[in-house]
């Protein structure tokens, strides 16, 4: 390929020769008494075109010389750097579901049910924040998520309600008042909801509800069923017991906090990031879990506490082994029902899930969404 500078020089020389020829022609025409105005108009027009061609040539050559970032190969990142933890973070601020901040343009108020296909890195909290509703509202509108909010797969279609509350399918014999009572909501809010007004006949007396159609219950709720975790109350006599001084199990950012229907925290980082035991204990389980956790480890700390590590890419321990606090036990992955690499971590005390944030010692990682 010809050097861009040489090409530009050649073109400039050729155009300069054309200018010299025009000047010579101008002298000849002057000798032949051609009108001065005619001669100037014709030759100045040609010279102007030559100058424009020179300018465009320079721009084209400059563009060719400018490196194109999109041509450069992008190396795949094997391991992301460890997250810098915020030393000023207050763990108490994470005791309730946080709001994921999006810097997108304000969206128009939604007045209809939206269908959404789950994308890589999504979780219920992120999806809810994207549509301006609570995580509970997303779960209640999608039955299978009520048992396991992490039961998401890429491409899975979710129903997103227009506002926070319970999106309910009307059954035969139900009334606005019975629905409001069932979900502990205000009947007036149901009547005033624009989405409901387009589907149900509220002008009739009594109001007529369309059976097997959605009705939005703004501010409604469903009861929380606290599930007790079954675990072995005893560990082998020679097993290492925990100190009840729990550390963070990996270097990552928090992509989903603990809340009533998500009994753990999600810690996101690249696949293969080290996962360590949050405290000393006895490895009670290592293997595949069919409920959605994928590759999972359970560590019994011998003091009524159990820690769960889910969605792992690899194991570094075997069931029946004792582990020390901070010992490598596995690697972050995306196995089971997962939309991206992260560690789902749970802390269970006497069979009851506890919020790890505020219990784990050390600086609380920053919030993020994958």
Q: What is the DSSP string of 40-103?
A: HHHHHHHHHHHHHHHHHHHHHHHHHHSPPGGGSPPPP-SSPPPPPP-TT--GGGGSSPPPPP--
pLDDT at residue 345, as a whole number: 98
Give the Å distances, CA to CA, from 49 to 15, 52, 83, 286, 293.
Answer: 10, 5, 59, 78, 71
CA distance 304 to 244: 10
Print pLDDT tens along the chain (370 aa).
Answer: 555 555 555 665 666 566 666 656 656 655 555 555 555 555 566 566 656 655 555 544 343 333 333 223 233 333 333 323 334 444 333 333 333 333 344 455 778 999 999 999 899 999 999 999 999 999 999 988 888 888 898 999 999 999 999 999 999 999 999 999 999 999 999 999 999 999 999 999 999 999 999 999 999 999 877 666 666 656 788 888 999 999 999 999 999 999 888 999 999 999 999 999 999 999 999 999 998 899 999 999 999 999 999 999 999 999 999 999 999 999 999 999 999 999 999 999 988 999 999 899 999 999 986 5
- DSSP lists the bridge partners of residue 303 as none
Q: Which residues pair with 345 in a beta bridge?
A: 265, 309
* CATH 3.10.350.10, domain 109-218, yes or no: yes
pLDDT given at position 368: 87
Which CATH class name applies to 79-94+225-370? mainly beta
288/81 Cα distance (integer angstroms): 28
Task: State the pLDDT at residue 237.
Answer: 80
Strand ranges inside 129-278, DSSP E: 157-160, 165-169, 214-218, 253-256, 265-268, 274-276
With CA atoms as reference, report the closest residue to 337 among 139, 95, 78, 156.
Answer: 156
pLDDT of residue 81: 31
CA distance 160 to 138: 6
pLDDT of residue 63: 36
Domain boundaries, the chain: 4-69, 79-94+225-370, 109-218
Tokens for 35?
A: 């009108």
pLDDT of residue 260: 82
């Amino acid at each position: 390929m010809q050097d861009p500078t040489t090409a530009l020089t050649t073109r400039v020389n050729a155009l300069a020769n054309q200018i010299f020829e025009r000047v010579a022609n101008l002298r000849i025409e002057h000798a032949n008494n051609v009108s001065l105005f005619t001669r100037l108009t014709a030759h100045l027009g040609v010279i102007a075109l030559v100058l424009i061609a020179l300018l465009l040539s320079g721009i084209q050559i400059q563009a060719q010389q400018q490196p194109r970032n999109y041509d450069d190969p992008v190396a795949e990142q094997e391991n992301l750097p460890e997250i810098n933890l915020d030393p000023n973070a207050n763990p108490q601020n994470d005791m309730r579901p946080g709001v994921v901040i999006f810097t997108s343009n304000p969206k128009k108020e939604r007045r209809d049910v939206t269908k959404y296909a789950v994308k890589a890195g999504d979780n219920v909290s992120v999806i809810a924040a994207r549509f301006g509703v609570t995580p509970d509202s997303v779960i209640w509108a999608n039955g299978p998520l009520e048992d396991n909010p992490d039961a998401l797969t890429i491409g899975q279609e979710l129903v997103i309600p227009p506002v926070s509350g319970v999106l309910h399918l009307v059954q035969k014999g139900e009334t606005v008042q019975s629905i409001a009572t069932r979900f502990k909501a205000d009947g007036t809010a149901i009547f005033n909801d624009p989405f409901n007004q387009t589907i149900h006949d509220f002008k009739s007396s009594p109001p007529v509800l369309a059976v097997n159609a959605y009705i939005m219950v703004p501010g409604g709720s469903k009861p929380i069923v606290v599930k007790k975790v079954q675990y072995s109350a005893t560990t082998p006599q020679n097993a290492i017991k925990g100190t009840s001084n729990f550390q963070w199990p990996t270097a990552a950012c928090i992509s989903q906090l603990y809340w009533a229907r998500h009994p753990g925290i999600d810690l996101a980082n690249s696949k293969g990031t080290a996962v360590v035991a949050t405290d000393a204990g006895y490895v009670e389980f290592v293997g595949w879990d069919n409920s959605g956790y994928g590759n999972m480890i359970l560590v019994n700390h011998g003091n009524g506490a159990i820690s769960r590590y889910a969605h792992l890419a690899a194991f570094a321990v075997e069931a029946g082994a004792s582990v020390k606090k901070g010992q490598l036990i596995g690697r972050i992955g995306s196995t089971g029902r997962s939309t991206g690499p992260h560690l789902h971590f749970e802390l269970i005390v006497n069979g009851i899930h506890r919020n790890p944030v505020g219990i784990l010692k050390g600086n609380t990682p920053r919030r993020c969404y994958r």
